[in-house]
């Protein structure tokens, strides 16, 4: 390990920022720690307003040429980035698992291939992005998507590279230049992405990556007058600060925030399927914004559902995420573990009962937990825990189920288990959510709109919606007359 390089399972990772096509070190660093065993991975360059200014300046300087690059050439380069990701799936998988504690098998088989797909999808969508011309009293209307400018993308730690490229790929495809700030708890795969993008031929300054704390570099990025788009995935309080920072410059925002999503289980549902869907909510140690953490079960089947759930959950293997047999790994940080445990302890003190779990394991592992006897207005039902903690409540009517489902300040997603097609249509139409899954979970297509309602976010991304956000839409109206014939 050299001064600016650390090694993770044999993979070299540069710890400096990537600005204007060059590595840039900061005078100060912060320590990156693996949640698997608490081991120190290395010291990472800790950016401040100075690095924010450098990165935005680089993005601004590179913008005119990149915006003028043809759609076909931008798409070709994004496909080359995808090729580079696919060549390094094993490196990316082991580094990300070590850095954030998610399952290695998932990174190998699903997450990192999805990273490559993000680039390919938006490259291909760019080439077919179009709106049919239309007529107004003989005048022709033509809609176009113009690149907006430098874009700041701030991403979370629960799926670092996949969620980063979900933003980076459409921003670059749109013709924008990018400053990416990964979460300080999981900075490593973003650094590898910089290497991959450079090798793919992405021009210097088109993608810039800066590391550090939100209070030190994030605020400088989101308040910068030369930034034309900000996309953020994370918590509501951080989004409120970003919104205030962006307000002075009227910088457009896309915010994908927290969730407290329900899983509605009706008596006519396939109960084994419903149990499988419920247990699946422990995925990634519960660190999934879309997770249906509030299980709402029709009273007549609640006892049987709970029995089957406890049996199914008992088979979950919690341990080292690098082990193929492991089902869920550690939580990301001691601070997060303390937050999770605090939620559960306060709930139990208020009268909740732990059907399973309810306690910390060794290290940063929290036991999968199911709490019953919880009140609708309680903290554990209303606030996002972001850990392997589910609550179970019962209902007796369809109206009550919908009322309970919608009775939080969030509206990111909802999951519904029923054997009645008519009921599914009625209930999904009434649920407040950006995404509703019926008898399934986490089926996502990049061409679909994605985002949340209420405090779960602002705006939608995916497919054309991503280009609508990252571009300035223009309508050109042309008269049928007034032309001169130049022969």
Q: Which residue has the tokens 């300080």?
A: 184
CA 27, CA 49: separation in Å to the nearest integer? 13
Residues annotated as part of the active site: 256, 289
Structure tokens at 417: 């288990």
* Dihedral sign computed on CA atoms, order 146, 148, 150, 152: negative
Is the separation of the CB atoms in 217 and 47 below 8 Å? yes
Burial class (CB in 10 A: 0-12, 13-18, 19+), 260: buried
The helix or strand, by DSSP H or E, that contains position 479, with its residue range, turns out to be none
What DSSP state is assigned to residue 456?
G
What DSSP state is assigned to residue 382?
H
CA 105, CA 326: separation in Å to the nearest integer? 9
CB atoms within 10 A of CB 250: 6
Burial 124-138 (b: 16+ CB within 10 A, else e): ebbeebeeeeeeeee
DSSP 180-248: EE--TTS-HHHHHHHHHHHHTTPPTTTEEE--S-IIIIIHHHHT-TT--EEEEES-HHHHHHHHHHHHT
* Dihedral sign computed on CA atoms, order 411, 412, 415, 421: positive
Is the separation of the CB atoms in 5 and 14 below 8 Å? yes
Structure tokens at 189: 């795969």
CA 314, CA 109: separation in Å to the nearest integer? 25
The helix or strand, by DSSP H or E, that contains position 8, with its residue range, turns out to be strand 5-8
CB atoms within 10 A of CB 483: 8
Phi and psi dihedrals of 160, rounded to 5? -55, -55
């Amino acid at each position: 390990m050299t001064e600016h390089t650390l090694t993770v399972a044999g993979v070299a990772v540069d710890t400096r920022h990537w600005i204007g096509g060059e590595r840039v070190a900061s005078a100060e660093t912060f320590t990156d720690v693996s949640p698997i065993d608490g081991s120190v991975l290395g010291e990472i360059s800790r950016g401040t307003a100075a690095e924010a200014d450098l990165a935005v300046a680089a993005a601004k300087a590179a913008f005119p040429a990149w915006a003028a690059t043809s759609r076909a050439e931008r798409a070709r380069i994004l496909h080359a980035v995808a090729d580079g990701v696919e060549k390094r799936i094993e490196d990316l998988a082991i580094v990300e698992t070590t850095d954030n504690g998610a399952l290695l098998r998932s990174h190998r088989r699903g997450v990192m291939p999805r990273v490559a797909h993000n680039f390919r999808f938006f490259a291909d969508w760019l080439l077919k992005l179009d709106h049919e011309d239309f007529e107004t009293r003989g005048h022709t209307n033509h809609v176009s998507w113009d690149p907006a400018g430098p874009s700041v993308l701030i991403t979370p730690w629960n799926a670092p590279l996949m969620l980063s490229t979900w933003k980076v790929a459409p921003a670059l495809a749109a013709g924008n230049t990018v400053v990416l700030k990964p979460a300080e708890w999981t900075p490593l795969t973003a650094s590898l992405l910089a290497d991959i993008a450079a090798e793919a031929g992405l021009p210097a300054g088109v993608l810039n990556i800066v590391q550090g704390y939100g209070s030190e570099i994030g605020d400088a990025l989101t308040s910068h007058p030369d930034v034309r788009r900000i996309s953020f995935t994370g918590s509501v309080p951080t989004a409120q600060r970003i919104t205030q920072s962006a307000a002075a410059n009227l910088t457009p925002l896309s915010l994908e925030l927290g969730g407290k999503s329900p899983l509605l289980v009706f008596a006519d549902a396939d109960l084994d399927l419903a149990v499988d869907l419920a247990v699946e909510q422990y995925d990634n140690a519960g660190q999934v914004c879309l997770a249906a953490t509030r299980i709402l079960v029709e009273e007549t089947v609640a006892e049987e559902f709970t029995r089957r759930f406890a049996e199914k959950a008992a088979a979950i293997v919690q341990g080292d995420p690098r082990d193929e047999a492991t089902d869920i790994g550690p939580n990301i940080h001691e601070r997060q573990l303390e937050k999770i445990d605090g939620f559960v302890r306060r709930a139990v003190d208020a009268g909740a009962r732990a059907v399973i779990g309810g306690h910390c394991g060794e290290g940063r592992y929290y036991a999968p937990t199911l709490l019953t006897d919880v009140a609708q207005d309680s903290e554990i039902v209303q606030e996002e825990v972001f850990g392997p903690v589910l609550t179970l409540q019962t209902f007796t009517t369809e109206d009550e189920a919908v009322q309970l489902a919608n009775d939080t300040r969030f509206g990111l997603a909802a999951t519904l288990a029923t054997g009645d097609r008519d009921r599914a249509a009625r209930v999904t139409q009434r649920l407040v959510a950006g995404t509703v899954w019926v008898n399934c979970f986490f089926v996502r297509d990049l061409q679909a709109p994605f985002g949340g309602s209420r405090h779960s976010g602002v705006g939608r991304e995916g497919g054309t919606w991503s280009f609508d956000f990252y571009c300035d839409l223009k309508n050109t109206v042309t008269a049928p007359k007034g032309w001169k014939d130049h022969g």
